[in-house]
Chain A
Amino acid sequence: MEIKILGPGCAKCEKTEKLLRDYVTKNKIDATVEKVSDLMQIAGFGVFSTPAVVVDGEVKISGRVPKEKEIKDWLEK
Chain B
Amino acid sequence: MNTKTIKNEKFIFYLISGAMLTYVWWILYGMLPELSSWVTYRLLNVAENSHLGKAVEFFLYDTPKVMMLLFLVVFGVGIIRSFFTPEKTRAVLSGRSEFAGNVLAALLGIVTPFCSCSAVPLFIGFVTAGVPLGVTFSFLIAAPMVNEIALGLLYALLGWKVAAIYLGTGLSIAILAGWVIGRLKLENGVEDWVMDTHAGPHAIPDEKRSWSDRIIYGWDAVKEIIGRVWLYVILGIGVGAVIHGYVPENLMASIMGKSAWWSVPLAVIIGVPMYSNAAGIIPVVEALIGKGAALGTVLAFMMSVIALSLPEMVILRKVLKPRLIAVFIAIVTCGILIVGYIFNVII
- Residues in chain A within 8 A of chain B (CB atoms): 7-13, 39-40, 42-50, 58-63
Contacts and interface: CB of A to CB of B under 8 A. Distances in A.
B157 interface: no
Interface of B: 85-87, 90, 113-115, 117-118, 120-122, 124-126, 128, 193, 197-204, 315, 318-319
Nearest to B122: A48
Among A13, A58, A63, which residue has the most Cβ atoms of chain B within 10 A? Answer: A63
A39 B121 contact: yes
B118 A50 contact: yes
24 contacts: A8-B117, A8-B315, A10-B115, A10-B118, A13-B117, A39-B120, A39-B319, A42-B121, A43-B121, A43-B124, A43-B200, A44-B198, A45-B203, A46-B125, A47-B203, A48-B118, A48-B124, A49-B87, A49-B113, A50-B118, A50-B121, A58-B203, A60-B204, A63-B113
A66 B120 CA distance: 21
Contact of B121 (A9, A47, A58, A59): A47
Contacts of B85: 49, 63
Nearest to A6: B121
Contacts of A11: 117
Nearest to B86: A49
A10 to B, nearest CB: 3
Given A61-B204, A62-B204, A63-B85, A46 B199 contact: yes
B39 to A, nearest CB: 35
Contacts of A9: 117
A66 B200 CA distance: 22
Contacts of A42: 121
Contacts of B198: 44
Contacts of A7: 117
A63 B217 CA distance: 12
Contacts of B122: 48-49
Contacts of B86: 48-49, 63
Contact of A43 (B90, B114, B197): B197
Residue of B113, B118, B203, B204 contacting most chain A CB atoms (<10 Å): B118
